[in-house]
Chains A and B, each alone.
Chain A
Amino acid sequence: MSRRIAEHPILGVQEKGEKVTFLCDGEILEGYEGEPIAAALRAAGIMKHRYTKKEHTPRGIFCAIGRCTDCVMIVDGKPNIRTCVTPLKQGMKVQTQYGVSPKPFEKQ
């Protein structure tokens, strides 16, 4: 998890919850309980969260505070979940959203 800040010169070592694992498009990833799903994804180097309905272009985190809705993904079967404000839980199933579906466009 090289994108995580181990020790910050001002903030020190950040307190985190329990380490948990979750699924992202079938791949097992690690994160900390309670942190935003998007933070765990970013730490793992994942940039793309969804593909848009019309132009099929990729989107990822933009505002990080739950306003722009570009970071939405399908979480435990529910689409349009804002990953930057939704806390991560053990065993969560996160999927890239194509439009609003987990299926790539060719298969829709």
Chain B
Amino acid sequence: MKRYDLIVVGAGPSGLSAAIEGAKRGLQVVVFDENEKPGGQLFKQIHKFFGSKEHKAKIRGFVIGEQLLKEASELGVKVVLNATVTGLYMDKELVVKIADTIYHYKGDAILIATGAAENMVTFEGWTLPGVIGAGAAQTMMNLHGVKPGNRILMLGSGNVGLVVSFQLLQCGCEVAALVDAAPRVGGYGIHAAKVARCGVPFYLSHTIVKAEGEECVTGVTIAEVDKKFQFIPGTEKHFDVDTICLAVGLSPMSQLLKIAGCEMEDNPKRGGQVPICNEYGETSIKGIFVAGDVSGVEEASSAMIEGRIAGIAAAQYLGYIGIEELEEKFEENKAALEGLRQGMFAPENRGKLIERTEEGIPVSMNLLTKGYIAEDEIERYPGVTHRAGIHPVMECSQNIPCNPCQDACPRHCIQIGSHITSLPVVDESAQCVGCGLCVAACSGQAIFLVQEDYEPGYGTVTIPYEFLPLPQKGEKGYGLDRSGQRVCEAQVMEVKTAKTFDHTNLLTIRVPVDMVGKARFYRKSC
């Protein structure tokens, strides 16, 4: 039986963050993970994170994963992969299966950071090959380099459904439709907008009737549902697809805590069966802590902070630090955590229809029901401005904690202020030089550079572009509007790629001047 100061189960963002904080304070830490690769969900996330600098905003998920692993390894944390914790017993004893052998361990403190697993919905044909979870699509695309299919229907409009739809487009798949039984898009509007402007139709208040095919998926039928989620006859729509992706929520994988005897509760706001714990993440059993999605489904940024808090609390529990340091660090991290839990998508606002932003501006209902801001709604938002010369246009219309745009502009054109959920505004007195750093910095790809007076009859729009093949200068194509419809002819003026842009290319297209407020995406002429 081997003994460790702190045993962490799960090498995802919260587990690694806790291990790092424990190791920093002198604890001997081991992390067990049942997967072949560490990092939990981080390595599947290829988009830039939100929040502020302290929340690792602007950095892509898999890069954060690499950073955490490096830091843990430098501090002497042992990470054991392909190690399945099969049981958690009295006195914090663990049984771990590594390869073909069972090992016993004892932790003076234990942190369970096992995350959450995907939920299921059933429909006729859901067991056919070709029906996969959204996580499966991400694993196949981003870890194994294989397209899950050619033409896909996505079920679920939360952040997972929206983000994975975009990732499918990025690796060359077609997304036939994005469907959700709920009446409104559940995830961030900017994630939806990225997908909508590529031409993916959104069908809210719809769900799947059946997946068709004899031996694998060849098509799917969806239909509208009423307020009681019953199908409305006559509203069926059919799509030819070879893959159906399910993104219908996550449930904490908290069984180990149940085995150990921790007090549990069924909390729908947290995703299901979760342990009852205090603000430091300590469960009803002293010395057993939790952090991350297993204690309440949220996201990676909050998981990391919860992990840090739990790691520091474990260090105090074991006597490596005093209560003063715990309280001090807790206050710091709590502030960071609260910074994330604000705005339209704060946990307390879940399920509520927020009709106005904090600034009192009506929220775009079209964004919530179709995935894009409508022509007659876009001018409401403070970031959407009109000026002589080149200037930023920020189509950021919901209060989410995020501010990389403010720091990106070398001329201080963009203001958010200390309250990071505020909508960005353009400083009228500052002079935009068209460098495009803001366009590349915006994790939501919601900033565009517009020049209404480029030349007689034409204006230019610079859009963030994260697809291959990259358009070529001089190439001719079409400008698409926010809903993905072709609205005009467009010619590529410039394609800018730079290391600081971190794979977000800047594509400048020339369009008829009356289209500069409409054209938000580009497609080459066939």
Binding site for B on A (CB under 8 A): 3-5, 7-11, 14, 16, 35-36, 39, 42-43, 47-49, 57-67, 70, 84-85
Q: Evaluate contact between A48 and B216: CB separation under 8 angstroms.
A: yes
Task: Find A36's partner among B131, B144, B216, B467 (CB 8 Å cutoff).
Answer: B144
Q: How many residues of B contact A (CB 8 A)?
A: 37
Alpha-carbon distance between A49 and B130 when the two chains are bound, in angstroms: 11
A63-B118 contact, Cβ under 8 Å, with A9-B466, A39-B140: yes
Considering only CB atoms, which chain A residue lies closest to B144 in the complex?
A: A39
A61-B132 contact, Cβ under 8 Å, with A9-B503, A35-B144: yes
A4-B130 contact, Cβ under 8 Å, with A9-B503, A62-B136: no
Task: Find A5's partner among B132, B136, B137, B147 (CB 8 Å cutoff).
Answer: B147
A49-B46 contact, Cβ under 8 Å, with A4-B145, A58-B216, A67-B117: no
Q: Evaluate contact between A14 and B145: CB separation under 8 angstroms.
A: yes
Alpha-carbon distance between A47 and B140 when the two chains are bound, in angstroms: 13
Considering only CB atoms, which chain A residue lies closest to B131 in the complex?
A: A62
Q: How far is the CB of A97 from chain B (nearest CB, A)?
A: 13
Considering only CB atoms, which chain A residue lies closest to B129 in the complex?
A: A60
Alpha-carbon distance between A16 and B137 when the two chains are bound, in angstroms: 19
A-B contact pairs, 25 of them (CB 8 A): A3-B147, A5-B171, A7-B468, A8-B142, A8-B145, A8-B170, A9-B170, A10-B46, A10-B60, A14-B145, A35-B144, A36-B144, A39-B145, A42-B140, A47-B215, A48-B215, A57-B127, A59-B129, A60-B130, A62-B133, A63-B132, A64-B132, A64-B133, A64-B136, A65-B136
Confirm or deny: B36 has a beta carbon within 8 angstroms of a beta carbon on chain A. yes
**Total cross-chain contacts (CB, 8 A):** 94
Binding site for A on B (CB under 8 A): 34-36, 46, 60, 62, 117-118, 127-133, 135-137, 139-142, 144-148, 150, 170-172, 215-216, 466-468, 503
**Chain A residues, Cβ within 8 Å of B135:** 63-65
Q: Evaluate contact between A5 and B46: CB separation under 8 angstroms.
A: no
Alpha-carbon distance between A47 and B36 when the two chains are bound, in angstroms: 23
Alpha-carbon distance between A45 and B215 when the two chains are bound, in angstroms: 13
Task: Find B136's partner among A35, A58, A59, A63 (CB 8 Å cutoff).
Answer: A63
**Chain B residues, Cβ within 8 Å of A70:** 127
Considering only CB atoms, which chain B residue lies closest to A13 in the complex?
A: B145
Q: How far is the CB of A34 from chain B (nearest CB, A)?
A: 10
Q: Evaluate contact between B129 and A47: CB separation under 8 angstroms.
A: yes
